[in-house]
Amino acid sequence: MSADTPTLDTVRAWLWAARRIAVLTGAGVSAESGVPTFRDAQTGLWARFRPEELATEAAFRRDPGRVWAWYAERRARLQGVQPNAGHHALAAFEQRHPGRMTLITQNVDGLHQGAGSRGVLCLHGDLFENRWLDVPRDCCRIDDACVGHPPYCDRCGNLVRPGVVWFGEPLPYAALDAAQRAARACEVMLVVGTSGQVQPAGGLARLARQAGARVVVVNPEPTELDAVAHAILAGPAARLVPELLDF
């Protein structure tokens, strides 16, 4: 490491001095809890299926039972998964410093919320939430949906779908708008466990840097956002995040 390369202690000092911190997390922050990363060639979500087979509106309309069953299996596999030290460190920091940190995640696994984080900006939705496939009518009430695979409205036939963002769909406007505002306002952005390949989430780090923030990448492997970063800390989130936020 060269003399002018920011160290963990340097980054920790940046965070300590910052009044506003934004954190963007991706699949890597959950990997140490046993959740396969999105693109893992052996165990990732798309190791056996093409995205268009299961994670698009067209796929759901074509075979809703198959897609619903696949997401039900994903939910079941996550039931026993616990947040790791990285998730807990972020939640604890938020509790010690109310209003100082905005947590933005691309993950749909709910582990940040399980660790105690509140107000998480979920850019890609929440695997454990449901919503209607089509614009709901007055008769459509999620809590009263008829049991089925998938559940449905017994009045109009509207189907219940997983509350995740599928390929080709826009991100939830409120979450994306809040994330962009946090990126522009922060003094330090931590980018943890994400390759930076997925847009527009990956653009938040560039937005933060353009607005004058220091950008810190925490990831075991090189990422597409390394060129944007003022500091790169190579290592697992479960070890590095607690060390960075222990104040």
Catalytic residue among 87, 88, 112, 124: 124
Positive/negative CA dihedral, 226, 166, 118, 236: negative
Asked if 97 is an active-site residue, the reply is no
Which residues are known catalytic residues?
A: 124
